[in-house]
Amino acid sequence: MPCVFLSQTAIQLSPTKVLIIYTGGTIGMVEDASSGSLHPLDFSHLSTEVPELDKLSVDLEVTSISDPIDSSNVDPAVWLELVDLIEKNYHAFHGFVILHGSDTMAYTASALSFLLEYNQKPIIFTGSQLPIGKLRTDGKENLITAIEIAGDYQQGIPMVPEVAIYFEYALYRANRTLKISAEHFEAFQSPNYPLLAEAGVHIKYNRFAINKPEKDGVSLFCRKSVCCDVASIKFFPGMRREAFNAVASIPELKGLVIETFGSGNAPLVSWLKEEVEALIKQGVVILNITQCVSGKVEQQKYETGIHLEKMGIISGGDMTFEAAICKLMYLLACDELSSDELRSYLSQSIRGELS
């Protein structure tokens, strides 16, 4: 059964130990002095590029996935490799910093928030818009502060016992985050949930927004599979039935995320009802999220949303697309869930991804 929020047990590792996991991406690039070209940084020499790390009161170790790649090439196999790395090192470290390209960071971070059941330690994703070897890089500050947050414990308890994204002075809940800019250093937003922390002269934690512990005595449980038999459809005025059906007819389709207008509305056309009813009859789970950056799906509000509710489409509330697709992939792989349980978990918050 997917977990709800559970508490962290105080650990006695001393001094604070943080594992940096490199997956690839802009932050890991340095400039060749002679040619000016960019090449991957040898992370065994990380302190050469970021000498400030030696001033941190944290023991650091560095590892990487087997084949660091551009984040646009990240797939669920990379998610599962990260899960495996964290599982193997979980009891040896206070926290983890995952260096990841920003393009798909919100997907990977959201996926790990679901796959790492009963996680009770800081797992902080970060990256940069400029390579760490560039003079004006944002990578140094992002890396240093992410490490500080990952290793920040008070009385043996972590300040941020969840999966999060740190970027440009802000800490976001992983599954509430989306990338909004390919150019600005402030590349991410969390439009429907407050920041977990803000970094200025001091790191100011918004404790009300961070996971609240409930029980002790639970252990990390790692899911080792996801279901990739999913798809998405974004509605637009004038969409033809053939366009919808091209996606809906994918062989072995098990889950579909639809991105609708406003508060979860779609056109009142007969062909949509026929297509949706056929999918649901086949056992396909359909999850409705809004195309809007902020706000939520309310399928009972307008006639154009009520007809989706009556068809059996599940409201995704205020989930981001990244969280919605990753949650669907995660739950569909939980073979122990009945159809009713799966639908129930989709419509409720299990990792803080949904208001």
Q: Report, as residue numbers or ranges, the catalytic residues.
A: 26
Q: Which amino acid is at 314?
A: I
The span from the CA of 258 to the CA of 327, in Å, is: 14
Q: Which amino acid is at 268?
A: L
Residue whose C-alpha is closest to residue 26's, from 128, 107, 98, 95: 128
**Which of helix, strand or coil describes residue 286?**
strand
Quote the DSSP letter at residue 313. Answer: P
Q: Are 103 and 179 in contact (CB under 8 A)?
A: yes
Strand order in the sheet with 285-290: 230-234, 255-260, 285-290, 314-315
Residues contacting 306, CB < 8 A, separation 6+: 299, 300
The span from the CA of 99 to the CA of 130, in Å, is: 13
The span from the CA of 328 to the CA of 341, in Å, is: 13
